[in-house]
Amino acid sequence: MLQSLFDKKNNHRCTDFIWSGPCSAESYEQVFETASQLKQKGIETIRAGIWKPRTRPNSFEGIGYPALDWMADIKNKLSVEITTEVASAKHVEACLKSGFDALWIGARTTVNPFLVQEIAESLRGVDIPVFIKNPIHAEIGLWIGAIERFEQMNISKIGNIFRGFHTMNSAPYRNQPVWKLALEVKRQFPGIPMICDPSHIAGKRNLLKGISQTAIDLNFDGLMLESHINPDSALSDSLQQLTPANLFTMLEELVQKKDHFINPEIVQEFQKVRVDIDQLDKKLLEIIENRAELIDKIGDWKDANQVQIFQLERYQQILESRKKYAKDLQYLPQDFVQELFELIHKFSIAQQLGKNQ
Ligand code: PEP
Ligand code: MN
């Protein structure tokens, strides 16, 4: 199953790759029973955390090394793929000895270039898939840096996992799904599969379905969802885990969309509308170009009269008035207009600064 993700010819449909298992391996029976119920319904890639990076000490920090043998045994008995999170070269070495089929680095590791480098070096020349979870906070530089560190070690099967970002206010989610950042990483590394981890985004069972459906609609390459035979008694992340039975019910309710239209009449209409959109975008650029021409003029005046370029009051007035114009428009939300004019204004300032150099 894991290998199909890296088959370049394959057009990955999100629901074709489901990766599941408990947040943490707690006992042999718990992992075995969960994995066995998953396998019965076709899920063959099993996750279980062995070393748990907990925010506070004295929480359950994982079983550690003894759980490696449980996983190896479960792999043999059930013919499933076993995967876990690694956070050091020692973890990697132990997992490779125990026959793990894939590894991932967690959000708390991706933020640490020393650890990422150490882990990447310990995997040099090893041909198993390695997944990188996005860093804890909403910045993709460290994520991209981690991808590059693994690439430099010639690791050929790299995957990404999007698990949302910790922000000051992530409500209603545990971690904010800033989708545009995941899509930006996908744009920059189109050959690297991007899996969504709705469990750590949601933090609660009732939000899992909505996030999973969004991931499908955004063309993610698969889903990692935590499951546990008895979620309420789970030693970590109990609120976000589903029983395997409830996981299957949820999966059945998800709608896997097609990547293109089938009906030829709609295809024709759709293409026409796309041509209209292309035309409008061209006009949009022409309007921004006209605006830049005016900026050029006021830039010259400011320069000739030694007037400073950045004028806070004018900036605030631009943002407020544009948002006010947009209040009467049907489709443009206030935060979009705010962001758009922040960008336009940033460009105008740079344009005027350029004249001084
Ligand atoms: C996990 O997958 O159980 C985990 C700890 O994830 P993250 O690194 O995304 O917090
Ligand atoms: Mn977890």
What pLDDT was estimated at residue 81? Answer: 98
State the Cα–Cα distance between residues 16 and 208, nearest whole angstrom: 17
Convert 115-153 to b/e letters by CB count within 10 Å (16 or more is b). bbbbbbebbeeeebbbbbbbbbeeebebbbbbbebbeeb
User: Residue 53: its pLDDT value, please?
Assistant: 87
pLDDT the model gives residue 357: 60
Ligand 1 site-directed mutation target among 86, 133, 142, 174, most atoms within 8 Å of CB: 133
Cβ(106) – ligand 1 distance below 6 Å = yes
Give the residue among 338, 321, 4, 40 at the shortest CA–CA distance from 193: 4
pLDDT of residue 245: 98
For 124-149, the pLDDT digits (tens) are 989 999 999 999 999 999 999 999 99
- Cα 272 to Cα 131: distance, rounded to the nearest angstrom: 40
pLDDT at site 12: 81
Tens digits of residue pLDDT in 156-170: 999 999 999 999 999
**Ligand 1 atom nearest 236 alpha carbon:** 3
DSSP 55: S
Instruction: With 0.85 as the threshold, say if the pTM is over it.
Output: yes
Spans of the chain below 70 pLDDT: 356-357
Q: Whose CA is nearest to atom 6 of ligand 1?
A: 106
Q: Cα–Cα distance between 22 and 24 in angstroms, integer?
A: 5
| DSSP helix/strand/coil, 77 | helix
